[in-house]
Amino acid sequence: MPIEITNVEKGVPIKSWTVGVPFEPEARQQLKNIASLPFVHKWVAAMPDVHLGKGATIGSVIPTSGAIIPAAVGVDIGCGMMAVKTDLQAIQLPDSLKELRSNIERAIPHGRKPGKRDPGSWQNLPDDIAGRWNSELADRFKLLCEKHPVLKNTNNAKHLGTLGTGNHFVEVCLDENDAVWIMLHSGSRGVGNRIGEHFIQLAKKEMERFFIQLPDRDLAYLAEGTDYFNDYVEAVGWAQDYARINRQSMMRRALDALAFTLNKPVIAEKEAVNCHHNYVQKEHHFGANVWLTRKGAVSAQEGQLGIIPGSMGARSFIVRGKGNEESFCSCSHGAGRVMSRTQAKKIVSLEEHAQATSHVECRKDAAVVDETPRAYKDIDAVMAAQSDLVEIVHTLRQVVCVKG
């Protein structure tokens, strides 16, 4: 598909993979604000699911040299997807999937108060969660808290292995050959939010301290070589590890719930993908080592597998990257919203939502209307717009969806 190029006065260009999909003026302006920053490397890339975010546009890829913008990384640090293909076929699933959804909901704490939804005592961490926290995360987090005490009062350990709210979900899906997959979407939960907000505020104070004027205060940055920058890189790396482990922990429990429902073992080693889509890491692009922020974007290096989900009632895709350097080897992270949550709740009726998700065993109440399919862009148009970034390996359709 052709790339739309927008030249920015006193800034780098914007390259957009947005042919055939909505691209709101407010999001365009946010991208121009980012492109005007002096440390952006080469250009900013906009994915086909691009839409308005806080400070930085969701669905953008931002290469920077010598600085990182914490608000561009966002507060759901390491948010991403995981999917596994099981050894099951659709015919092996029960006719009614309600029990399976209930078992997944019991196995994975979700919602705003996940502890109340767990039949056991969530105050006492289950062995599998406690083991991973203590062996991989606890000591590093203690060191972070010594430098930044504000991070102490978070539910970090208790939130590990929990889903959260909003657009986070666990789904049972069928691929084009009726193989059964489990796919989930979540991130670093409350502790990632605290880390993100803390360093966003520190970056804003740095801008004030050095009298740096920005087109948007949320584009406040941390300069490489400073203590705050080094602390942020350490903290964001920890949160990204937390998010990855969080998804792995929930996946294990979802598979156990599936096996319990069917009263048979479930093998899930055929294919597995675990990818971030809100994160920053060091990468080499166009002759330079840069900090690459993917805010609502997935790494699509040549041959690399990724996940691009649709909405509750739409198809999702397992994809393989084509390594397109023009996009800094990236692709979209989903369909992208066309309605705010408030708009969706005002415009979309419960009847419409129920009809749009009639083929999925899921919640159909007013609390999830903001996640209804019409609140998102057409996933098929999004995929068509990035045909030069990824190839489709599997097409998944949901049969069960658990929302927080």
Instruction: Supply the residues annotated as catalytic.
Output: 333
Cα(276)–Cα(79) distance, integer angstroms: 6
How far apart CA 57 and CA 59 sit, in angstroms, is 6
Inter-residue contact 26 to 19 (CB < 8 Å): no
Instruction: Tell me how crowded residue 286 is: count the other CB atoms within 10 A of its CB.
Output: 12
CA distances 27 to 21, 49, 75, 336, Å, are 13, 11, 19, 12
- CA 57 remoteness from chain centre: 14
Residues 113 and 202: their CA atoms lie apart, in Å, by 29
Label the pairing between strands 169-174 and 179-186.
Answer: antiparallel
Q: Where are the alpha helices (DSSP H) in 45-96?
A: 70-73
SS3 of 267-292? CCCCEEEEEECEEEEEEEECCEEEEE
Ramachandran angles phi, psi of 173, nearest 5°: -130, 160
